[in-house]
Structure 1
Amino acid sequence: MKADSRHSVSVAGVVVDDQGRALLIQRRDNGHWEAPGGVLELDEDILTGLRREIEEETGLQVTPTALTGVYKNMTPGIVALVLRCKAEAGSLRQSDETSAFRWVTADEVAELADEAFAIRVQDALAARPTVPIRQHDGIHVLS
């Protein structure tokens, strides 16, 4: 297998509060609003990596409750698994990776985030019988 044919796998957690809103972080590196998450390390399982990324970026300890979507950024070849989560402990705090937080509705996320990242949150907030599988170019969802 050629090195350039490998995919990176990332995880993101859509933390949902009791009012049905999702937590977004504002990334320090580019100012974008997204659900917390990041690339899995080779030796960690999916849920451990998800919990680690969310705690590093938000200070919250979470329980994942459902896989809500599978997404591929076609440009760099990153496959993302997105899970809905419930906060169990901790408190929001900024980190080296995050500069701000916002609790948003499905409509509000569309105003803040690029389409490719807003759809992940919207899918997680929607009640769907099946898990969507989508492709994007880093900004827009591709058909």
Structure 2
Amino acid sequence: IVSPDVGGVVRARAYAKRLDADLAIVDKRREKAGVSEVMNIIGNVKNQHCILVDDIVDSAGTLCNAAAALMDKGAKSVAGYVTHGVLSGGAIARINASALDEMVTTDSIMATEAFRASEKMRQISVAPLIGEAMYRISKETSVSSLFD
């Protein structure tokens, strides 16, 4: 499990712990808004299938740069899993041309035609989770246990 930046380490560590997987971190420097430069990979990714996890992807620059850096360090494959796929501007084209094998988002934001046409993009539904949370709220039972 890989955090694409220092800000996502807590999230990535939680996933790694749940999955009994190793953790790696992309140490990057953002020179200016919308532009990121990958500096270093913290952790051993050689011969590993890497999963980049993040809360939101907009331009996809960070994830695509991170995927390239992971492959340069010997990763077998890289997939991105993000909660909200904003995917503005040329994000889909950037992903299609990147080292990412797959980019998975939830349907919290409606997929565009370009998204649906891409062989690298996949969307999963949050409806069952939201439905179960609503049901539990109506029954006054634990919502937080959904995430145990």
Which bin holds the TM-score, normalised by the shorter protein? under 0.3
Largest Rg, 1 or 2: 2
More helix by share: 2
Give the TM-score of the pair, scaled to structure 1: 0.25
**Higher relative contact order, structure no. (Cα contacts within 8 Å, ≥ 6 residues apart):** 1
